[in-house]
Amino acid sequence: MSAMRSIYVTVVSYEYALLAISLVHALSSAGKKCALYCIDDRGADLLEEVLPKSCVVFRPADYQDAKLVEIRKNRSDSEYCWTCKSVALEHILTQMPELDWAIYLDSDMMIFGDPDKALPTSSDAHVLLTPHRPSTPHFESFMQQAGHFNAGYIAFRASKDGLRALRWWREKCEESCSVRPDAQGYADQRYLDEFSELFNGVTLSENLGVNAAPWNISGKRITKKSDSVFIDNDELLIYHMQGFKKIGFGFYDLYSGELNLPASVRDFIYGPYIRHLERCSLLLSSDYAGPRMHSHSRSTRAALREVKRKFQGLSNVYRQRVEKG
């Protein structure tokens, strides 16, 4: 049987270039093809300069049509990035017809194993969705608003049924892609709840190691065997670093929400990610300002909030010690 022909795609702005670089290098180390879709030329210029040639970088002029140009005028960077997920996936499948699968990953993700292991082997599977699987009442409540599936990881087969679902998702995201209370959905995610009713071959991932995240990690057994990390009995392939912030030199807030991450998650998942991220940051010039996640507020209010979280046992501040050469 021939090897799976896949490509991993992310949408990014200049502000989040460091995260994109980190993701690309992790994918490249796993031997995977990747494509970056920049929503600004400044980001494309930077990424073309520092990324390996194996990664294809697209700038707005490469994929925007007249409709997208108009949409861009009225959407924030976040809203436009959400809008362009489906655009990027459809574009890459058109540009590379030899592909079997195109997989979207948010840039704040880390690769821990072969991500192709997550893809369905059945020829009847045309779309792969990852359920949120909320593991606390707080997340359970939020998912009622955000939808059952997380759009940080989603995969489409280059088939008639896969493309049909992808194009429908694109149309919906072009209509509305906001988290405002008056929006018809929730960003790009609530639309995914309709997939199983509308399209053939929609598969739900049962692998706990695919799109593992703060919202579904509570209560799980995290272990390390040789070079692999396991969540219960599933190998960790892709972890979503949602809520992760750098708060000072060598200090990181692993998750700023109402959750305390256990030592096994900190040591086996976040520690390696931080070391990888810091190595990737050396590829950037000193004048790169970095994303908002690297400019955490130092106000009195923020400090008091962290003290309160520490008192409640919810602090996730992590210190990355300098490695001695």
Q: Supply the CATH number for residue 243's domain.
A: 3.90.550.10
207-216 tens-digit pLDDT: 999 999 999 9
C-alpha span between 70 and 51 (Å, rounded): 30
- Matching residue, tokens 């509305």: 176
pLDDT given at position 291: 58
The two three-digit tokens of residue 304, written as one number: 């008091």
C-alpha span between 302 and 66 (Å, rounded): 42
Contact (CB, 8 A) for 125 and 203: yes
pLDDT given at position 4: 74
pLDDT given at position 305: 52
Domain presence at residue 77:
yes
Using alpha carbons only, what angle is made at residue 190 by residues 189 and 194, rounded to the nearest 5 degrees? 115
Domain presence at residue 298:
yes
pLDDT given at position 89: 99
Domain presence at residue 324:
no
Name the residue among 318, 176, 314 with its Cα closest to residue 252: 318
Confidence of residue 1 (pLDDT cuts 50, 70, 90): very low
Distance between start and end Cα atoms, the chain: 45
49-67 tens-digit pLDDT: 999 888 999 999 999 999 9
* CA distances in angstroms from 56 to 24, 89, 96, 177, listed in the order given: 10, 13, 12, 26
- Matching residue, tokens 């392939």: 237
Residue 159 has pLDDT above 50, yes or no: yes
C-alpha span between 21 and 281 (Å, rounded): 8
Put simply, whether the predicted model's pTM sits higher than 0.75 gets the answer yes
H helix count then E strand count, the chain: 11, 16
Transcribe 76-101 into DSSP letters.
-HHHHHHHHHHHHHHHHHHH-TT-SE
200-248 tens-digit pLDDT: 999 999 999 999 999 999 999 999 999 999 999 999 999 999 988 887 7
Cβ contacts of residue 172 below 8 Å, gap of 6+?
185, 191
Rounded to the nearest 10°, the torsion over CA 52, 54, 57, 63 is 180
Domain presence at residue 68:
yes
Determine how β-strand 55-58 pairs with β-strand 34-38. parallel
Residue that wins the pLDDT comparison between 287 and 31: 31
Domain presence at residue 311:
yes
* CB-CB neighbours of 65 under 10 Å: 9
Contact (CB, 8 A) for 191 and 173: yes
Query: What letter does residue 292 receive in the DSSP assignment?
Result: G
Domain presence at residue 1:
no
pLDDT given at position 265: 95
The stretch 248-275 carries a mean pLDDT of 86
pLDDT given at position 315: 55
- The mean predicted confidence, pLDDT, of the chain is 88
Domain presence at residue 227:
yes
pLDDT given at position 143: 83
Transcribe 200-236 into DSSP letters.
TTEEE---TTEEE-GGG-TT--EEEETTEEEETTEEP
Give the structural domain span for 182.
6-319
Give how many domains the chain has, as a whole number.
Answer: 1
Burial status of residue 150 (CB atoms within 10 A of its CB: 0-12, 13-18, 19 or more): buried
| SS3 state at 8 | strand
Domain presence at residue 83:
yes
C-alpha span between 11 and 16 (Å, rounded): 10
pLDDT given at position 226: 92
pLDDT given at position 152: 98
Report the share of the chain in percent with pLDDT over 70.
86
Confidence of residue 290 (pLDDT cuts 50, 70, 90): low
